[in-house]
Amino acid sequence: MSRMCEGRVVAVTGAGRGLGRAHALAFAAAGAKVVVNDLGVGLDGTVGAADSPARQVVDEIRAAGGEAVAHGGDVATSAGAASLVTAALETYGRLDTLVNNAGFLRDRMLVNLDEDDWDAVVRVHLKGHFLPLKHAAAHWRAEAKAGRTPVARVVNTSSGAGLLGSLGQGNYSAAKAGVLGLTLVAAAELGRYGVQVNAIAPAARTRMTERTFAETMTAPDAGFDAMAPENVSPLVVWLGSAESEGVTGRVFEAEGGRITVMEGWREGPTVEKGARWMPEEVGEAVRKLLGEAGVPGAVYGT
């Protein structure tokens, strides 16, 4: 693998398993020093085994000749997110790239979705993106104001559920849609400080998706597992490197060997009356517009 991240320091949240682990290993292979964050919780956010998955990933990286340090803080708290940035600065003297990836699921149909399950999922996915981004951005802004403008990168993790919605995942879909809005705002606000912010909507087999991808999918050429999380990481490594200069405020779908630039809400067909509409006039106008508009993508699970 190209050492395109040689000398860079990368923090990856939720990096003990699945996509986060794959990203951490890929960044290390590309020459980065990696802060491996993972709280070590179960799929639903409950406290799991005492053996730290972050430590296991650090051991893997070190065994391969790389450099890494474990961080077990809760990045959905201000103290935990701040300590993630501090861990990078105190261990390696800098922070160049932040990959927000931490999350878990508590799936329910809306009528059965408890308020606690809503709050927990929105907290880890959305607040768990906002707080590390906020603390990293504060550091990078200070660097820029001191005349040391960074070549900083942020990669946020959304989902197809955030783009289209997903049955039984109202909390997760809302949080992942929020990640997209946060990405666009952060890219616009932080560019002046040398920070680029992008998002991915990955599809891969992880603890969170193993029921969805129960059957292993393979490409025509034998040996290529299209649902392996490692397929998503090359895009993340490139977005997190200096090589991605000029790419910001974008959303990419990644699955197997496919990378797609996602195009968000844009103005479609429109009609202008030049005066206030009457309710009885609206139906005909809207139906005509819908007839001219493209068909939206289907909600996952329908």
Q: Is 176 a catalytic residue?
A: yes
Q: What distance in Å separates the CA atoms of residue 193 and residue 146, rounded to the nearest whole number?
A: 11
Selecting among 159, 173, 241, 244, the annotated active-site residue is 159
How far CA 103 is from CA of 2, 56, 64, in Å, comes to: 29, 19, 27
- State the CB neighbour count (10 A cutoff) for residue 93: 9
Selecting among 172, 233, 241, 244, the annotated active-site residue is 172
Q: Is 244 a catalytic residue?
A: no
Task: Write down how long the chain is.
Answer: 302
What the block records as the tokens of 272 is 């202008």
97-100 and 152-157 beta bridge pairing: parallel
Q: What are phi and psi of 252, to 5 degrees?
A: -125, 135
What the block records as the tokens of 256 is 């197997």
Q: Are 101 and 12 in contact (CB under 8 A)?
A: yes
The one-character DSSP state at 47 is B
Selecting among 176, 233, 241, 244, the annotated active-site residue is 176
Is 180 exposed, middle or buried, given 0-12, 13-18 or 19+ CB atoms closer than 10 A? buried
Q: Is 78 a catalytic residue?
A: no
Q: Hey, which residues are catalytic here?
A: 159, 172, 176
